[in-house]
Chains A and B, each alone.
Chain A
Amino acid sequence: MFAVTIPYWELTIIKTVVVLAVIPAGALILGYVFLLKIMAHMQSRMGPMEAGGFHGWFQLIGDAIKFIQKEDIIPAEADQRVFALAPLVVLMSTFLLYVVVPAGPRLVVQNLDVGIFYALAVSSLGVIGVLMAGWASANKYSLLGSLRAAGQLIAYELPLVLAVVGVVIQAQTMSLQGIVHAQANGAMFGFSWVGNPFLFTQIVGFVIFLAAAQAELTQTPFDMPVAESELVAGYMTEYSGFRFLFFFMAEFGTAFALSAIASTLYLGGWYQPFFKTGIMADVLGPVVLAVKIMLVAFVIFWVRFTFPRFREDQLQAFAWKILIPLSLVNIMATAVFKVAF
């Protein structure tokens, strides 16, 4: 243990800078690895191969530079201030998600006691930004897209929350750090080396969480709000330049954050069985978490690249008639097992 006391304001600046660096980095990594490369490979293509020399690694960074250079166009009929503010609200929701995700025993921006509750609450802030974007654009496609987004995000917020309740019951805490410790200290059939990742006991919850997260990210097959072929990217229609870049970064930043939360809830987060505490756990934590994030993100994007889009009524029916009853049954079963054992 090294006892260095850093003043509160310095610590805050360091944490802010780290989170500000993690969002674009996470978005770039997910965008490059999955959107450009894995999707290409799943379609028997190579993806970008030229930019930057090695397998087109520079492609997305170059795209970002291009976006920043572009003119900031605001439609004449648009509500100027709301239009300009909307991408920031969406990005802010992503930014706030990172506050509670632990990357090691001491590597966490703020370990809130109501961590997972807070994460789910701020993740739904994004829908306000989406509604603002759609309303302020003065474009019927944008408005339709944002209304669809609102309807969808509200519908899928429920199974997301209800799926997490199972984990919370089992871990007996809402703090994400506490949930990781509960998994690290648990045992499966008296075999405690890998702890007890809730993936096995909460497999139904995990599947529901992934499906709902997919819908929260408005990714195919739940991409009705941004349906390119009918709504021309929905609420993003009128956006260009760096404001569009903000939406793009928020989408993939949120994918990164939700993958991180899913791996914390169900795969044990930063925990690896070799170093439970101490400095090595802090050093290995981010690496282990990154590997788990990539695994969860692979599943999310694999589904995205495979399935076609749901129709609007199918989309709502899937949430209300299948996911929500299933997650309620899951909560009941978890509660019964918790009391019985």
Chain B
Amino acid sequence: MPELPGLAKGLGVTFKTMINTWTKGAVTVQYPHEKEDLAPRTRGVIALKEENCTVCMLCARECPDWCIYIEGHKEKRPPRREGGKPRTVNALDRFDIDYALCMYCGICVEVCPFDALFWTPEYEYSESSIADLLHDKDRLGEWMVTVPDPPALEAGAVKKK
């Protein structure tokens, strides 16, 4: 019976795991009561920093699921210098992400040239109605406080002025 040592070893593994679960606790967490420690780069939900957005539409165009809806209009702003031409800026009217469609690929975050989109590790935004998964720009802006700080610079690196 060459299998016997292996069988005994297997029984030992389960027994040891049982004792460890009793004494040290399980590897799982009791979710609604306690929460997991998530990695800082966890892809939970996408936050929008509205003042950085220039309505360039890059994110909406790159999105593989077409789940980003952007509308904007042009506005005149006073010129920077006395006597100059008034500036034209794009103002954001609508910025919606439909999380029912989003596949969390993060291309929009990557592609944004003005750092207006960020990953945050929050994940508790389930809804009982699928239509409520469409987050408007106010809702997306609320996630900004949960964005983790960017990783520290490497030793010797100089911060850009």
Binding site for B on A (CB under 8 A): 38, 40-46, 49, 302-303, 305-307
Contacts and interface: CB of A to CB of B under 8 A. Distances in A.
Interface stretch (B19-27, B64-72, B74-82, B139-147): B19-27
Contacts of A306: 10-11, 13-14
B21 A302 contact: no
B14 A44 contact: no
A41 B24 CA distance: 11
B11 A41 contact: no
Contacts of A49: 30
Nearest to A322: B1
B71 to A, nearest CB: 45
B20 A44 contact: yes
The size class of the interface chain B forms with chain A is 10 to 19
A302 B15 contact: yes
Contact of B14 (A45, A46, A302): A302
Given A41-B18, A302-B15, A46 B26 contact: yes
Interface of B: 7, 10-11, 13-15, 17-18, 20-22, 26-28, 30
A306 B14 CA distance: 6
Nearest to B16: A42
B10 A307 contact: yes
A141 to B, nearest CB: 29
Most buried by A among B18, B20, B30: B18
A307 B10 CA distance: 7
Most buried by B among A42, A49, A302, A303: A42
A306 B12 CA distance: 9
Nearest to A303: B11
A305 B13 CA distance: 11
Given A302-B11, A303-B11, A41 B30 contact: no
Given A303-B11, A306-B10, A43 B17 contact: yes
A302 B15 CA distance: 8
Contacts of A302: 11, 14-15
A41 B22 contact: yes
Contacts of A40: 21, 26
Given A305-B14, A306-B10, A306-B14, A44 B27 contact: yes
Contacts of B10: 306-307
A255 B15 CA distance: 20
A33 to B, nearest CB: 12
Contact of A42 (B7, B18, B27, B28): B18
A60 B13 CA distance: 27
A46 B31 CA distance: 11
B33 to A, nearest CB: 9
B2 to A, nearest CB: 13
A49 B14 CA distance: 21
A181 B15 CA distance: 34
13 contacts: A40-B21, A41-B21, A42-B15, A43-B17, A44-B26, A44-B28, A45-B21, A45-B27, A46-B26, A302-B14, A305-B14, A306-B10, A306-B13
Nearest to B22: A41
A304 to B, nearest CB: 10
Nearest to B7: A307
A42 B26 contact: no
Contacts of A307: 7, 10
B15 A45 contact: no
A302 B18 CA distance: 10
Contacts of B11: 302-303, 306
Most buried by B among A40, A49, A306: A306
10 smallest beta-carbon distances between A and B, as pairs: A41-B21, A42-B14, A41-B18, A306-B14, A44-B27, A42-B18, A46-B26, A306-B10, A45-B28, A44-B26
A46 B20 contact: no
